[in-house]
Structure formats: structure tokens, C-alpha cells
Amino acid sequence: MAYGSKPPANQRLPSAKKKKPVIKKKPAQKIKIKKNLTERQKVQLKEHSVHHTTKHINKMKILMREGKSFKQSHAIAMKMIGS
């Protein structure tokens, strides 16, 4: 057996199994949805709807009711739905 080489399989010691760390998950939190958008948000969406589809605008409304800003909801809607 050369220096640095592994011993034959029948001479190897069984390796100790490593335990995976236990990760406790937090319970899922419900997102509070506001019932209405502010007047400013309604005006912004009205102007924005000229350039985007109804699906895009509806997704943005849902996200804004969940508490996202106009910019954040637009970015998410673009990734999920597109223009």
C-alpha cells in the first residue's frame, strides 16, 4: 500500500454517520389583506393600465393590498405574468 492511497475495502473502518442539523420551521403567517386601495394607488393603477394587461393590473392590486409598494408589486407582476 503506497503512501496516501486508500486501504482495501475490507480493511477500512466504518465511517460515523453525520447527523443533519434539525431546523425548526416557523408556522406560516397569514398575510393581512387590506380591503381597499388608497385613492393615490387607484390613480396610479388607472394611468398604469394603459400600458399593461388586465391580468398584470389585477395581480398588482392583490400585491398592493398585501402591503407591497407600487414598484414592488409591478416588479413581481412583471416576473410572474409579464406585460
Q: Give ∠ CA 48-38-34 in degrees, rounded to 5.
A: 110
pLDDT category of residue 15 using cuts at 50, 70 and 90: low
Per DSSP, the residues of 27-70 read PPPPPP--SS--HHHHHHHHHHTTTS-HHHHHHHHHHHHTT--H
| Grid cell of 65 as nine digits | 393590498
Mean pLDDT, the chain, rounded, equals 84
pLDDT digit string (tens) for 32-58?
A: 777 789 999 999 999 999 999 999 999
> How many Cα atoms sit within 13 Å of 58 on the Cβ side?
4
- What pLDDT is recorded for position 41? 93
Q: Give ∠ CA 48-49-55 in degrees, rounded to 5.
A: 120
Q: Is the pTM of this model over 0.85?
A: no
- What pLDDT is recorded for position 27? 77
